Structure 1
Amino acid sequence: MTATREYLRRAASAGLAGEAAGFGFVADRCDDPFTGRRQILVEYCDPGLPASPAALDALRGALRARGLEADAVLLRVGGDLRLPAPWRPRLTYVRHDRGPAAGAAPCPAGLTVRPATRADDARVSDWLVQAFRTTYPGQEVTSAHPGVADIMAAADRLSFIAELHGEPIGHGTVLTAEQDSVTGEEFTELVDTLVDDARHRRAAIAALVAAAVEATEGRPLCGHVVHPYEPGAARSADSVLRALVAGDWSVDHCFWESPW
């Protein structure tokens, strides 16, 4: 991960840049929009920092010295580097290699994918609500929640509907005009895929991803895996990530979390 000079200049001008054990970083308060959890987001750090336990300890000290209060620290780490406890993965971004599908499930008869229309908006919104409720158990999420409403209203949103014999069974939704604030890279984000039909879920998700890849040719396609706090759900997320990396995806970066 290489930060642009403009990003680093703006961070320094805003007083967000710092140093820990000789490594530079950029950090600020950024609370979780769903849970309200107080977080310090280290949006950028020099590549060598996460690989050094001493630097990780120094980073925590440097953040506390700023007088900030939080429940947790989130640290963006490029690639698939694993951090020591008490750090744990919270959000992993993966990048599609756009090559031939690796081990894709056979497409069953009657399974098709089409672009969504306005008539599908209520259905897509309901699927997004379902996805966020799964990711944030116990949180009150409705179609009016900004996390859902902002996606539905985004000018660059594209949604696709998977149908089995003409009946909708799931969706894939992407935002096509995203930009990495640190690197400046423009990309397409696969916000969510959700398929209600368990029997055809694997094949339907593969078909939805293929539709997203085809529709957004020319930009990297990135998705993400949320690692919940609950042990059982966390293991499930790890299994999903392993399956993605074994197929057509690779880890781009991960946000690691540590208690404050």
Structure 2
Amino acid sequence: MPQGQDEAPVTAAILVIGDEILSGRTKDTNSGHIAETMTAIGIDLTEIRVVSDVEEAIVEALNALRARNAYVFTTGGIGPTHDDKTADAVAAAFGVGIDHDPRAVAMLRERFPNPGDLNEGRLRMARIPFGADLIDNPVSKAPGFRLENVFVMAGVPSIMKAMLQTIVPQLRTGVPVASVTLRADAKEGDIAVPLRDVQNAHPRVTIGSYPFTEGGRFNTNLVLRSRDPAALADAKAVVEAMLTNMRAAPA
């Protein structure tokens, strides 16, 4: 159940599963959507991993991530084909059995009322590790599932987004991170040292520099992030003063 906002950071990781991602055939857009969603509700995303459709690799990554994060979100590998191994890997990681779940079978029968259409391949999508709760899939009925702090979702972006929307109310949220972006009108190397000094003086604020080109010239955006509004406002004022002084200095 949601517990509102906590002062201590709530962390999460993403495990993307699929040979098609590693080969470049399919582009991973799910991680970006999950990251944006977590940021909006104050959950710190600590890591994104991509692994192949190999059960041992999935188990190893899943056990590492779930041990050091409040939540782990997996995408991919819960379809009807032979290379969809995520459900079996999750069961192995938790040391539990797996079988066709009557609740999941009933959901699939809503999508495939003709018994002949609910073939062996489609029934694979009803194999759920023992003890897991189901994640509703309003798009195609085949559910995802949750086992302890691990949420297992589909890889198809439209389905993943729908599943994530049903998951968010279950999560323990943190204090959202606020951010401001300042245009430096300077090259990244020219502001590196004074920016380091500002960062050292404002430990409650994270300052990132992001170079870009405009009209063939290098420039930099500075992004300041913090959960403390007063600390963020103070650091912003200091950075703005730093940039003003640099622009006014003789070339």
TM-score of Structure 1 vs Structure 2, range by shorter chain: under 0.3
Bigger RCO of structures 1 and 2 (CA < 8 A, at least 6 apart): 1
TM-score scaled to structure 1, two decimals?
0.23
TM-score scaled to structure 2, two decimals?
0.23
Tell me which protein shows more strand as a share of its residues: 1
Tell me which protein shows more helix as a share of its residues: 2
